[in-house]
Amino acid sequence: MRLRNKPWAKEKLLNYPQFVVHHPETWKEKWHDLFGNNHPIHIEIGTGKGRFITEMAKANPEINYIGIEAYTSVIVSALDRAIEAEVPNLKLLNMNAQKLIDVFGPGEIDRLYLNFSDPWPKNKHEKRRLTYKSFLDMYAKVLVSGGELHFKTDNQALFEYSLISFSEYGLKLKYISLDLHNSDFQGNIMTEYEEKFSQKGNRIYRCEVQFPT
Ligand code: SAM
């Protein structure tokens, strides 16, 4: 993703505390209190400009959504979408997913989405892939027993790598499509990257895996 310098972005995030949660670690084990209900919590890591998480929040008011994005200059676009949609069930966190277990308590999350994660193709960068085993360790800690991870990408190498990583970790494969847009899967919500890459003719891969119960 090309990052534009947006010196004003940090201040804008501070101006919308109803959507952007600052010091998210203070809400560890208290996220339901923040949302003011006991609805399930679904998170997306690498939420980018926020189309997926905002549309999901609009479509499913009985689920609480949290979008996590490392770059301030990117998440500020997700904030614009949240402001426009006026959804009460969406929060945004400007942080690196490396901090996940500082921010969420054991079993606090019901489902985790990874959409078009950076592929980090060089072997020496394997540990940065969001489907690497150290990330799966973190997901296992914050997800409920039997919690699910839903993953979409157009990158065949990353998809293959991730399926092996999931399998080595003992996750159960519940759904797989090797060509999502030509499958009978209903209710797909496109991400910004998904639209861009599918318009180029790239195939979209998707799977759902379940952590042990
Ligand atoms: N999911 C969006 C989509 O499909 O349009 C964005 C995809 S973009 C290729 C990947 C995004 O993940 C980038 O915005 C990047 O900053 C973010 N990201 C990558 N690693 C991350 C991490 N460890 N923690 C938080 N965000 C991360």
CATH number for the domain that contains residue 176: 3.40.50.150
Look at residue 5 and tell me if it is in a domain: no
The pLDDT profile of the chain, 213 residues, written as one tens digit per residue, is 556 778 899 999 999 999 999 999 999 999 999 999 999 999 999 999 999 999 999 999 999 999 999 999 999 999 999 999 999 999 999 999 999 999 999 999 999 999 999 999 999 999 999 999 999 999 999 999 999 999 999 999 999 999 999 999 999 999 999 999 999 999 999 999 999 999 999 999 999 999 999
Phi, psi for 61 (deg, rounded to 5)? -65, -15
Distance between CA 193 and CA 103 in Å, rounded? 27
- Closest-lying ligand 1 atom to the alpha carbon of residue 152: 4
Look at residue 20 and tell me if it is in a domain: no
Look at residue 40 and tell me if it is in a domain: yes
Beta strands in the chain (DSSP E): 41-45, 64-69, 90-94, 109-115, 143-153, 172-177, 205-210
What's residue 6's pLDDT?
82
* 192 pocket-lining for ligand 1 (C-beta < 6 Å): yes
What's residue 1's pLDDT?
56
Look at residue 11 and tell me if it is in a domain: no
Look at residue 10 and tell me if it is in a domain: no
Instruction: Out of 118, 120, 128, give the residue to mutate to test ligand 1, the one with the largest number of ligand atoms within 8 Å of its CB.
Output: 118
Look at residue 19 and tell me if it is in a domain: no
Residue 118 bears catalytic tag: yes
Phi-psi region of 52 (alpha: psi -120 to 50; beta: other; left: phi over 0): alpha
Of 12, 20, 133, the C-alpha closest to 66 is: 20
Look at residue 163 and tell me if it is in a domain: yes
Output the six-digit token pair for 101.
């277990």
Look at residue 200 and tell me if it is in a domain: yes
Number of domains into which the chain is organized = 1
Provide the whole-model pTM: 0.97
Domain span at residue 130 reads 28-210
